[in-house]
């Protein structure tokens, strides 16, 4: 816990992004482990970074799911959240942000937004024969809500799970979970420029179907973040609070939820 508090102080005083990013460079498995047909892709960003990505293939896909994972590990550790989608008729493009896995560069909030936009542009250009649906979890969800407005007329839908509403708010909430954390609260104002906060950007997605998913027992990011995002969003929008749900992973193991999620994706596409 002491190390955690020191990391917050370091972040707030130096501008370092270590509090929000916990990348792992070791790719521990690939989609073949789940018997999924796939290709390795490279997404290049406007500032010259090369992002490692996997394209999981479905036969006659109804849509491409562009997947943005959470802040820890790398894409290999988040495969359980999406590897099953091709068997339900959806291809998947899953990327690693800069500094994660085999991707180049070092993580930063500004870089994250650049990475997400590069991936969206890549998906829209490379897979222009199918609808593109964004599915983004936790930090990835926050970034997608901030980065997607320039493409809202081309994306079929945006789905977040376990996203937070504000960098400063979540930093302060986490700090308050320990006694020592209270000592760093004065340093946490403006830890990230508010222009990157999803709650400041979600209204600009008006017209894009948005589904906000959140576990009612999420121990990392409380459900009030989902409700705040939903209130700030414009139509069409929907909020689903998962009963007994934790932090992301709502579809990692439950077959019935996976089937229902596939139905939800189809319904969102139809709204377009």
Tokens 């705040």: give the residue. 228
Count each helix (H run) and each strand (E run) in the chain, helices first. 7, 10
Report the half-sphere exposure of 239 (CA within 13 A, side-chain side).
17
Predicted local confidence at residue 16, as pLDDT: 39
Convert the pLDDT of each residue in 81-90 to its tens digit. Answer: 999 999 999 9
What dihedral angle (degrees, nearest 10) is formed by the CA atoms of 118, 123, 128, 130? -150
Cα separation, 14 vs 1, whole angstroms: 20
DSSP structure class, residue 31: G
* DSSP one-letter string for 193-239: -GGG-HHHHGGGGTTS-EEEEEETT-SSS-HHHHHHHHHHPPSSEEE
* pLDDT-above-90 percentage for the chain: 78
Total count of domains within the chain: 1
Residue 188 binned pLDDT confidence (cut-offs 50, 70, 90): low
Q: Where are the beta strands (DSSP E) in the chain?
A: 22-23, 38-44, 50-56, 63-68, 72-73, 90-95, 131-137, 157-161, 210-215, 237-242
Predicted local confidence at residue 75, as pLDDT: 97
User: What range does the domain containing 137 cover?
Assistant: 2-22+31-271
Residue 54 binned pLDDT confidence (cut-offs 50, 70, 90): very high
* CB count in 10 Å sphere of residue 143: 25
Determine contact, residues 159/213, Cβ cutoff 8 Å: yes
Predicted local confidence at residue 185, as pLDDT: 53
pLDDT at residue 263 above 90? yes
Residue 176 binned pLDDT confidence (cut-offs 50, 70, 90): low
Determine contact, residues 113/139, Cβ cutoff 8 Å: no
Identify the CATH number of the domain in which residue 83 sits. 3.40.50.1820
Cα separation, 206 vs 270, whole angstroms: 17
Convert the pLDDT of each residue in 94-107 to its tens digit. Answer: 999 999 999 999 99
Convert the pLDDT of each residue in 195-243 to its tens digit. Answer: 999 999 999 999 999 999 999 999 999 999 999 999 999 999 999 999 9
Tokens 């521990």: give the residue. 28
Convert the pLDDT of each residue in 15-48 to its tens digit. Answer: 435 578 999 999 989 999 999 999 999 999 999 9
Convert the pLDDT of each residue in 132-144 to its tens digit. Answer: 999 999 999 999 9
Q: Give Rg (Cα) of the chain.
A: 18
Predicted local confidence at residue 46, as pLDDT: 98
Give the distance between the most distant pair of CA atoms in the chain: 55
Residue 272 binned pLDDT confidence (cut-offs 50, 70, 90): confident
pLDDT at residue 14 above 60? no
Straight-line distance from the first to the last Cα atom of the chain, in angstroms, rounded to the nearest whole number: 47
Predicted local confidence at residue 5, as pLDDT: 46
Ranked by mean pLDDT, which of 16-30, 39-53, 158-172, 182-196 comes out on top?
39-53
Convert the pLDDT of each residue in 64-80 to its tens digit. Answer: 999 999 999 999 999 99
């Amino acid at each position: 816990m002491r190390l955690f508090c020191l990391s917050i102080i370091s972040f707030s005083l130096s501008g370092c992004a270590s509090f929000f990013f916990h990348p792992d460079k070791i790719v521990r498995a690939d989609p073949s482990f789940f018997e999924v047909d796939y290709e390795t892709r490279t997404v290049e960003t406007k500032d010259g970074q090369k992002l490692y990505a996997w394209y999981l293939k479905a036969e006659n896909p109804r849509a491409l799911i562009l997947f943005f994972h959470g802040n820890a590990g790398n894409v290999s550790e988040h495969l359980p959240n999406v590897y099953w989608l091709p068997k339900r008729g959806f291809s998947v493009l899953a990327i690693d942000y800069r500094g994660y896995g085999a991707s180049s560069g070092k993580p930063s909030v500004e870089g994250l937004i650049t990475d997400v936009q590069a991936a969206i542009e890549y998906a829209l250009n490379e897979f222009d024969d199918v609808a593109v649906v964004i599915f983004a979890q936790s930090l990835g969800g926050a970034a997608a809500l901030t980065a997607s407005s320039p493409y809202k007329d081309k994306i079929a839908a945006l789905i977040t799970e376990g996203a937070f509403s504000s960098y400063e708010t979540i930093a302060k909430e986490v700090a308050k979970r320990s006694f020592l954390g209270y000592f760093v609260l004065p340093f946490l104002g403006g830890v990230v420029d508010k222009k990157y906060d999803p709650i400041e950007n979600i209204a600009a997605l008006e017209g894009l179907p948005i589904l906000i998913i959140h576990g009612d027992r999420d121990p990392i990011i409380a459900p009030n973040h989902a409700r705040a995002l939903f209130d700030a969003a414009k139509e069409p929008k929907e909020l689903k609070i998962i009963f007994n749900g934790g932090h992301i992973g709502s579809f990692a193991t439950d077959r019935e939820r996976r089937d229902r999620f596939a139905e939800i994706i189809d319904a969102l596409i139809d709204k377009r």
